[in-house]
Structure 1
Amino acid sequence: MRAIRVLFGRRARLRWLHLIIGGALLMPYFLVGTVLVGMAGGGKHLFSSLPAQSAAFALALPMAAVTGLFALVRPLCVAAARALCGVPPALLADGPARTRQARVRTAGWYTLHLALGGIVSGCTLALPPFAVAVAALPFFAGLRASWLLDGPEPLREPWVLALAPVAGIAMLVALALAVAAAGEVLARRATVLLGPTPEDRLAAAERRAADLAVRNRLARELHDSVGHALSAVTLQAGAARRVLDRDPEFVREALTAIEETTRRTVGELDAVLGLLRRDGEPDEEGAAHGPGLDALGGLLTHCGVPVAYERKGDPENPRVVRPDVSREAYRIVQEGLSNALRHGGGAAVRLLVAVRERELEIVMENPLGERPAVARPGGGRGLRGVAERAVLLGGRTEAGAHGDFWRLTARLPLTASGARAGTTGTDTTGTGTTGTGTAGTGSEGRR
């Protein structure tokens, strides 16, 4: 049964079809070769001469090889190999052949396909009718009088006629074996000749890295915007519930903060979903989407903890801090406030945003909580996201405990024009405290 499946199963039939397609593709080249041989030999006995046909076949293969050098031949060959040869898709290359090595490999496989296909197609057309006629010799007198037995006298012996059906079946089995062997050769060579080259693997790795960068960017946006909003809303709602009966004014402020936080977060979420609708590709404005340092006042007002905000230089001026740096700085501050909400027990946060000579410095400090943070399943992405944001801009971050305080420091490089603007302008230093009351004192998860 296994032998029957190997010779006549679905895979064998598909490979046979693939070889016949190769023979069909060979025909234009073969006809051109036939014309060339006819011109050289005068055209006499062209189609009945085996040497002439062999010469035409030999001339057809180099022409096929030249065609295989075109870049778009590879995806067509790969599609046929996947569908008909049963080659796993992961072992074959994607896209046109861009390099010389890939084109030469494709030309080799294309030529091999057409060569084997031409032989198999010729045998498929000629051998089955002949094998059937041989197998039918004992049963039809007309066949015995034909050219099939026009040969030496021993061919007319009765025992030879008795073996004729066996010989006919053997011819068909031999054809099936030859086709199966040719199909297996093509399938094995496909992984070598149509497989990815080192350049293809490098391009695929770059595509995967780009896709991963987009996914990480979207994850950071969702974590910092939505995560901060949920933390603030949860803690504000919990604090309001505890003082609902004795401090209505605090409850009113907390509800206002919740309303403002959710409204701001809906806008930020729309921006993130916009990136998803564009398949993660930024438009002409690139990374300038989303709030920047100019929106920091609204964030600090309704963040859930009192914040002592000090700024040096003019970080909210887009001529001093370019938009992508301003945007990432906003997210870093947002993540720092989220950590203060979870771990600071509602204590005041000190925030410094300063334009230095060549960099934007962000320093956030908040008292450590009285109780250690409880590990959250899947937590701990916030500081990693902060570090990724800084690294993507060529900056650096530091975070850790300093005495009784937790300190987060980020330094983001400025452009040359931004640095000059920050150093030549007049520094304006403002200090203020904003907030909406005390957040909850619980500790929920790692930073």
Structure 2
Amino acid sequence: MTLLFGRRARLRWLHLIIGGALLMPYFLAAMVVVGWFHPHTELFSSFSQQLTAFACALPVAAVTALFGPARQLSVAAARALCGVPGDRPLADGPARTRQARVRTAGWYTLHLALGGVISGATLAVPPLAGTIAVLPFSRSVRESRTFGLPEAMDRPWILVLLPFVGLAILVAMAGCAALAGALLAGRAPVLLGPTPQDRLAAAERRAAELAVRNRLARELHDSVGHALSAVTLQAAAARRVLDSDPDFVREALTAIEETTRRTVGELDSVLGLLRSGEEHGATGPGLDALDGLLEHCGVPVSCAVRGETGTVPAAVSREAYRIVQEGLSNALRHGGHGVPVELRITVGAAELEITLDNPLPERAAVVRPGGGRGLRGIAERAVLLGGRTQAGPHGDGGWRLTARLPLGTRGHPRTSEQENR
């Protein structure tokens, strides 16, 4: 009995009655039109005319479902009343594609058609069943012109069965309503679920959001990670010579101050992007800010620049700055304070080339748990611009990081060659 009269069955029954109520304006308008062709017939006296009006009303309802927020309203009603399985999601938002609108029209027509039938049965069947059930107890009802029984049926054993017949009619009507509600619930994910175009649009939105998050994560990693590495090593070096070399300690504290001040500004910029949720208008230091970075990076750097860095596009310039910053951070982290780094920047006609060389320490560096993401982030920055990177041992005990970034239009990403450091 739960399947027929449980909470889910009652909600689905209510959903069908709402469909019947939505059908009424179309049905009444169709009855008026049908009545024009039968002027001498009473409007609601002919079942054939009602059936014709019902059939004419459904196409009109389907057409109206092609416009407006029909899918949003249908989805809200189906979620609240239909009991759609949770593993079969329904679509959100209005129908923007032709396929989505056609599916919505199909759902709306099915809902109104089944709702009209079940609503009509809900109005007509209970009084009929009740009358049949009371026939054995009321001779006046049995002899009435409205519901008179044939003499052949006016027998005791037949009268005894009539209450059960009335109850069976009610149960049959409840079963029909339950079947119609289950049919709607089963078709809802198909007709109101996301179309392939909806899934593609959702995937594109998720990809765009993920790209923004990855970009901001790289910004935080490169700026804050570099600053923390530089500050930590500067402080450690200053602590070791605190009593013997106060001038070096003073220089180290100045470098720490400049590094943290610059990093706080970069952190505010990244957090501003996070708060606004926008990637447009992205700002950050470029190649014109390299002097400040090299001065307080914590390692001695010899820098050679060929070409005009001012002609480099802003987006490429920002990514190049971050690549240099992360390369210096790696050199500082793995080589330690005082390890020389050679930086070469070449601005060509078609691409920008960045090369960082530094010696590897004789003693293996301590790698932080879980490994780093620096080289991976460098590769991602280059690939997004259509460039490539290469990192690994080079020459006699050295390490080389090379990045090539195109200066023209963005090309197809190429494979990045790198080794775990």
TM-score under structure 1 length normalisation:
0.86
* SS of corresponding position for 2:343: strand
| The one of 300, 305, 326 aligned to 2:299 | 305
Asked if the contact 1:71/1:103 (under 8 Å) is kept, the reply is: no
For residues 240-389 of structure 1, what are the structure 2 equivalents within 5 Å? 240-279=238-277, 281-283=278-280, 286-287=281-282, 289-315=283-309, 317=310, 320-346=311-337, 347-389=339-381
Identity over aligned pairs, percent:
71
Per the TM alignment, residue 71 of structure 1 is displaced from its structure 2 partner at its CA by 5.8
For residues 18-38 of structure 1, the C-alpha deviation after alignment (integer angstroms, 9 at most, x for no partner) is: 111111111111011100111
Q: What 5-or-longer segments of structure 1 have no aligned partner? A: 417-445
Q: Given residue 333 of structure 2, which amino acid in structure 1 is its aligned partner?
A: R
Q: Output the amino acid matched with 1:410.
A: A
Q: CA 1:373–1:169 in structure 2 vs 1: closer, same or farther (change >3 Å)?
A: farther
Report the 3-state secondary structure (helix = DSSP H, G, I; strand = E; otherwise coil) of the residue aligned with 2:121: helix
| Aligned AA (1:39) | W
1:125-149 Cα shifts (integer Å, max 9, x gaps): 2212332333334445554454564
Superposed displacement of residue 194, structure 1: 2.0
Deviation at 1:206, TM superposition (A): 1.1
Partner of residue 50 from structure 2, selected from 49, 53, 60: 53
Cα-to-partner distance string for 1:398-419 (whole Å, 9 max, x where unaligned) = 1111031111111111148xxx
Question: 1:337-385, CA deviations, whole angstroms, 9 ceiling, x for partnerless residues?
Answer: 1101111122011111221121111111111122334443443321111
Amino acid across the alignment from 1:353: I
SS at match of 1:350: strand
Closer/same/farther in 2, CA of residues 375 and 162 from structure 1, 3 Å limit = farther
Give the conservation status (yes or no) of the 8 Å contact 1:363–1:408.
yes
Distance 1:153 1:375, change over 3 A: farther
Q: Quick one: distance in 1 between partners of 2:133 and 2:223? A: 80
In 1, the alpha carbon distance for the partners of 2:94 and 2:244 equals 73
Structure showing greater relative contact order (alpha-carbon pairs closer than 8 Å, 6 or more residues apart): 1
Shift of 1:309: 1.4
d(CA) in 2 for partners of 1:226 and 1:147?
Answer: 93
Residues 206-265 of structure 1: CA distance to partner in whole angstroms, max 9, x if unpaired?
112111111111111111111111111122222222222322222222222122111111
Q: Indicate yes or no: 2:382 matched with 1:390.
A: yes
SS class of match (1:91): coil
Residue 212 of structure 1 aligns to which amino acid in structure 2? L
Alignment CA distance shift 1:187-1:373 (3 Å)? farther
Moved more, 367-376 or 247-256: 367-376
Length-normalised TM-score, structure 2: 0.91
Counterpart of 2:259, as a letter, is T
Report the RMSD for the aligned CA atoms in angstroms: 2.0
Deviation string 1:178-209 (CA, Å, 9 cap, x unpaired) is 01100111111122222222222221221121
**Residue identity matched to 1:167:** V
Q: Is the 8 A contact 1:243 1:251 kept in 2?
A: yes
Q: Distance in 2 between matches of 1:182 and 1:377?
A: 59
2:41 and 2:11 mapped to 1: Cα distance? 39
In terms of mean alpha carbon deviation, does 19-28 or 247-256 score higher? 247-256
Which of 75, 90, 93 is 2:91 aligned to?
93
- Per the TM alignment, residue 389 of structure 1 is displaced from its structure 2 partner at its CA by 0.9
SS in 2 for 1:353: strand
SS in 1 for 2:242: coil
The answer for the alignment partner of 2:206 in structure 1 is 208
Instruction: Rate the CA distance shift 1:36–1:235 in 2: closer, same or farther, 3 A.
Output: same
Are the equivalent residues in 2 in contact too, given 1:75–1:94 (CA < 8 A)? yes
For 1:443, the equivalent position in structure 2 comes to none
Query: How many pairs were matched up?
Result: 408
Letter in 1 for 2:400: R
CA contact (8 A) 2:212 2:279 kept: no
Paired with 1:164 and 1:375, the residues of 2 have a C-alpha distance of 87
Give the 3-state SS of the residue equivalent to 1:370 in structure 2. coil
Partner amino acid for 2:221?
H
Match of 1:132 in 2: 130
**SS of 1:282's equivalent?**
coil
Residues in 1 aligned to 2:250 and 2:270: alpha-carbon distance in whole angstroms: 30
Q: Residue type of the partner of 2:320?
A: A
Alignment partner of 1:14: what SS? helix
Q: Is the 8 A contact 1:29 1:64 kept in 2?
A: yes
2:408 paired with 1:408: no
Listed as ranges, the matches of 1:40-189 within 5 Å are 40-42=37-39, 44-70=41-67, 72-87=69-84, 88=86, 90-140=88-138, 143-147=141-145, 149-189=147-187
Q: Distance in 2 between matches of 1:376 and 1:147?
A: 95
- Structure 1 runs of 4+ aligned residues shifted over 6 Å read none
Counterpart-to-counterpart distance in 2, 1:123 and 1:397: 73
Q: 2:415 maps to which residue?
A: none
Distance 1:344 1:32 in 2: 85
Secondary structure of 2:37's match? helix
Tell me if structure 1 keeps the 8 A contact 2:143–2:149. Answer: no
> Structure 1 residues 379, 75: closer, same or farther in 2, change over 3 A?
farther
Question: 1:129/1:334 Cα in 2 relative to 1: closer, same or farther (>3 Å)?
Answer: same
